[in-house]
Amino acid sequence: MPPCKVCSTGTRAVADYHWCDSCDFISLDESKIVSAEREKKEYSFHQNSLENEGYVNMFRDFIDRAIRPCKPQITTALDFGSGPGPVLAELLRREGFETDIYDKYFSPDKVYFNKKYDLITATEVFEHLRDPLATMKLLKDHLNEGGVLAIMTLFHPNDEEEFLKWWYIRDATHIAFYMPRTLERMALECGMRVQYCDGKRFMSLSLSSPQ
């Protein structure tokens, strides 16, 4: 079995997935990952807009719980993986933040190059990553000292039977799954610390030193 992409320890097979008991990271076997063309097509089906009240409220909850308490003073922000309809970026702009967007399919210009931010958001992004640790390291390098990386991804049920019945894995573009301690392990590897975790889908990481 291939080593875990997060902690490099051995994994075990669970159907088409590689499960790490050391850090709880689960990854889809490389042979099952869909093409970039298929992935972009799936993303294009997402009908998310400012008119979708439930979607907007989810992001407002994310801002209120995973961003405001962790980083009260924000001037600049990057919405990394903004998707076809950058709703979160618009909400951040309405908060007064100067917000850039990046998405490998829909806004592929790497505007973050040679820039650093007070806040980077990655919402519904980490479940799509082939190499999540490399992505976290990249994002950390674009944070100002004291900056916050706020992540949204649904934490998996840490049980094989429940995992294989879980609706979240039915999306063909979802290839990486986490528990809080997975992201904690990644944060440690990147020289960051956890500021907030709701135990369900939100986690905020900071470059600031412990008090």
Give residue 47's pLDDT band: very low, low, confident or very high (50, 70, 90): low
Q: Could you give the CA distance from residue 123 to residue 126 in angstroms, rounded to a whole number?
A: 8
Residue 109: inside a domain? yes
Model confidence pLDDT, tens digit, residues 94-115: 999 999 999 999 999 999 999 9
94 domain residue, yes or no = yes
Say if CB 117 and CB 142 are below 8 A apart.
yes
Q: Distance between CA atoms of 29 and 17, rounded to whole angstroms?
A: 5
pLDDT of residue 133: 98
64 located within any domain: yes
Residue 52 is encoded by which pair of tokens? Answer: 């979708």
Q: Is residue 19 part of a domain?
A: no
pLDDT of 99-156, one tens digit each? 999 999 999 999 999 999 999 999 999 999 999 999 999 999 999 999 999 999 999 9
CATH code at position 152: 3.40.50.150
pLDDT of res. 211: 44
Comparing C-alpha atoms, which of 189, 191, 173 is closest to residue 42?
Answer: 173
Distances, alpha carbon 158 to alpha carbons 122, 163, 191, in Å: 23, 7, 26
What is the percent of the chain where pLDDT is above 70? Answer: 96
pLDDT tens figures, 1-19: 899 999 999 999 999 999 9
Q: List the alpha helices (DSSP H) in 1-48.
A: 36-44
Count of domains in the chain?
1
Neighbour-count burial of 47, counting CB atoms closer than 10 A to its CB (0-12 exposed, 13-18 middle, 19+ buried): exposed
Evaluate whether residue 148 is within a structural domain: yes
CB 178 within 8 A of CB 135: no
Q: Identify whether 24 is part of a domain.
A: no
What pLDDT sits at residue 52? 81
Read off the pTM: 0.95
Q: Is 13 within a domain? A: no
175 is in which domain, residue-wise?
A: 34-206
> How far separated are the first and last CA of the chain, in Å rounded?
41
Q: Is 99 part of a structural domain of the chain? A: yes
Across the chain, mean pLDDT equals 94
